[in-house]
Amino acid sequence: MSRRARKLGRGVALVGAGMSKFGAFPDKTSRDLFADAFTAMTRSVDKGMDTEDIEALYVGNFSSDLFEGQGHIAPIMADWVGLVPKPATRLEDACASGGVAIREGVIAIASGLYDVVLVGGTEKMTNLPTERVTDTLAAASDTVYEGACGFTFPGLYAAMATAYMARHGASVEHFMKVGIKNHNNGSLNPKAQFNKSIRDLMNSRIEKAKQKGEPVPEWSDELDFLKDPKANPVVAWPMRLFDCSPITDGAACVLLVAEDIAKNFSNDPLYIVGTGQGSDHALHERDDLTSIAAARIAAQQAYEMAGVQPEDIQIAEVHDCFTIAELVAIEDLGFFKHGEGYKATEQGLTARDGSKPINTSGGLKSKGHPVGASGVGQAVEIWHQMRGEAGPRQVPGKDIRLALTHNVGATGGTCVVHIYQRR
Amino acid sequence: MTQPAPASPLFWRFNPEVYRLIGIKCKDCGHISYPRTKICHECGSLNLEEYKLPKKGTVHTYCVNWTPPPTFEPPITPVIIDLEGGGRYQGLMTETSTPEDVKVGSKVEMVLRKVTTDRGLNVYGYKFRLVEEE
**Which domain range does residue B25 map to?**
9-130
Report if residue B38 sits inside a domain.
yes
**Considering only CA atoms, which of B111, B48, B102 is closest in space to residue B79?**
B102
Number of Cβ within a 10 Å radius of residue A336: 20
Full-model pTM: 0.94
What is the DSSP track for B66-78? Answer: SS--TTSPSPB-E
Q: Is any Cβ of chain B less than 8 angstroms from the Cβ of A206?
A: no
User: What's the average model confidence in pLDDT over A356-376?
Assistant: 97
**Domains contained in chain B, number:** 1
Q: What CA–CA distance (Å, rounded) separates A226 from A223? A: 5
Report if residue B3 sits inside a domain.
no
> Distance (Å) from the C-alpha of residue A154 to the closest C-alpha of chain B?
8
- Is the pLDDT at B9 greater than 80, yes or no? no
Report if residue B32 sits inside a domain.
yes
Best probe of the B interface among A142, A149, A279, by most B CBs < 10 A, is: A149
A16-66: per-residue pLDDT in tens? 999 999 999 999 999 999 999 999 999 999 999 999 999 999 999 998 888
Phi then psi for residue B29, to 5 deg, are -115, -5
Q: What CA–CA distance (Å, rounded) separates B35 from A389? A: 50
- Is the pLDDT at A377 greater than 60, yes or no? yes
- Is the pLDDT at A271 greater than 50, yes or no? yes
Provide the pLDDT confidence category of residue A388 given band limits of 50, 70 and 90. very high
How far is CA A123 from each of CA A59, A98, A118, A150, A372, rounded to the nearest angstrom? 10, 10, 17, 25, 6
* Three-state DSSP state, A97: helix
| ipTM metric | 0.90
**Closest CA in chain A for residue B105:** A166
Report if residue B58 sits inside a domain.
yes
A294-318: per-residue pLDDT in tens? 999 999 999 999 999 999 999 999 9
Q: What CA–CA distance (Å, rounded) separates A283 from A385? A: 34
> Distance (Å) from the C-alpha of residue A172 to the closest C-alpha of chain B?
13
Report if residue B4 sits inside a domain.
no
Q: What CA–CA distance (Å, rounded) separates A421 from A312? A: 11
Least CB–CB distance from B78: residue in A138, A150, A238: A150
Report if residue B2 sits inside a domain.
no
- Is the pLDDT at A174 greater than 80, yes or no? yes
Residues of B in contact with A139 (CB under 8 A): 1
Report if residue B81 sits inside a domain.
yes
Report if residue B13 sits inside a domain.
yes
User: What pLDDT is recorded for position B10?
Assistant: 47
Task: Determine, for residues A150 and B35 on separate chains, whether the beta-carbon distance falls below 8 Å.
Answer: no
Q: What CA–CA distance (Å, rounded) separates A325 from A243? A: 10
